[in-house]
Amino acid sequence: MTRSLRSHSSRILLIYTGGTIGMKESSSGLVPVSLEDLLEQLPDIDAFPVELTLVSLDRPMDSSDLKPEHWVQIGALILKHSAEMDAFVVLHGTDTMAYSAAALSFMMQQLGKPVIFTGSQLPLGHPRSDAASHWMSALEVAMALGPDGLPRVPEIALYFNHALYRGNRVRKLHAMGFDAFDSPNYPVLARAGTRIEYAEEAIGQGIPGQPFRQGRPAWFPALDQGVLSLKLFPGLRPDLWEVALHDPTVKAVLVEAYGAGNIPADGDLSELLRAFVQRGGHLIALSQCVGGQVDLTRYQSGRRLLDLGAISGMDMTFEAALTKTMHLLGTGGSDFREAFGQSISGDLG
């Protein structure tokens, strides 16, 4: 469904996917409302010189129900309107917003225009809601131009609780607090107070192809979901993973290791992972820690993963590593190890 409001200078497409920001109470708890119901609650935007076009997924939903196919739908909407729109704002549930933002950063490259994800911890209709502040600030960021007249933040980013984060560097860390998101290994792109202060040194850095070109973006909708996550914990039984790691459709395993990438000296686990790699599978070493990075050479226990042929996830978030893996497996045609170790959209380094 599409709806256009007002006619001013900046043209922005607002994509509504559902999530808490547009929910209402029901007998079974909070449920997403339709785009029409959302329109009745959105704050007046007369203060902004903007032409706002609104579109929603066919069925707005709780973000825990979103799947890779919905990332493709969001990206396709952006692609469809990439020529006539100046920027994009995506209203999204908080639970999987970091996954969606990271996925879009790999699927849609060289857009050259802002794509700002935002949501809220309380619905728009709640008296203490953070929703209005978030979406209005996201709109302001999307409209912002630099001294050269080009977009101030030509990235896929996420705005929440007065901070703007790179989309593939952010994680949800709090289920209840308004400070739900953080970017542990990359500085914020902007902070909002009485005005929005932009971190020029962080915006666009590490993204190949900078400065961005204006034009039709590179679009990679193919995603391979043959990916598993193995989170280590004391007492893990390797035999419980044997069937999964012998499944030929499993092509990559994200090993959520301890600390800097350490695994226990368990022969059964090592042999299981070694056999997986020998069959052509990819092991990606990540840290369970929120901040810091993987260093497989620091400890003997880290070298075990290195000896198994694991690829270091370096300082990537789990969300970015997962979606980057799906993207690389889906596109194919390149050396996976080499491609994973390179920054595609400022996702590592």
What residues are labeled active site?
A: 20
**SS3 per-residue string spanning the chain:** CEEEECCCCEEEEEEEEECHHHEEEECCEEEECCHHHHHHHCCCCCCCCEEEEEEEEEEEECHHHCCHHHHHHHHHHHHHCCCCCCEEEEECCCCCHHHHHHHHHHHEECCCCCEEEECCCCCCCCCCCCHHHHHHHHHHHHHCECCCCCECCCCEEEEECCEEEECCCCEECCCCCCCCEECCCCCCCEEECCCEEECCCCCCCCCCCCCCCCCCCEECCCCCCCEEEEECCCCCCHHHHHHHHCCCCCCEEEEEEECCCECCCCHHHHHHHHHHHHCCCEEEEEECCCCCCCCCCCCHHHHHHHHCCCEECCCCCHHHHHHHHHHHHHHCCCCHHHHHCCCCCCCCC
Cross-strand bridge partners of residue 82: none
End-to-end CA distance of the chain: 40
Please give the angle made by the CA atoms of 279, 282 and 286, to the nearest 5 degrees: 145
Please give the angle made by the CA atoms of 144, 145 and 149, to the nearest 5 degrees: 165
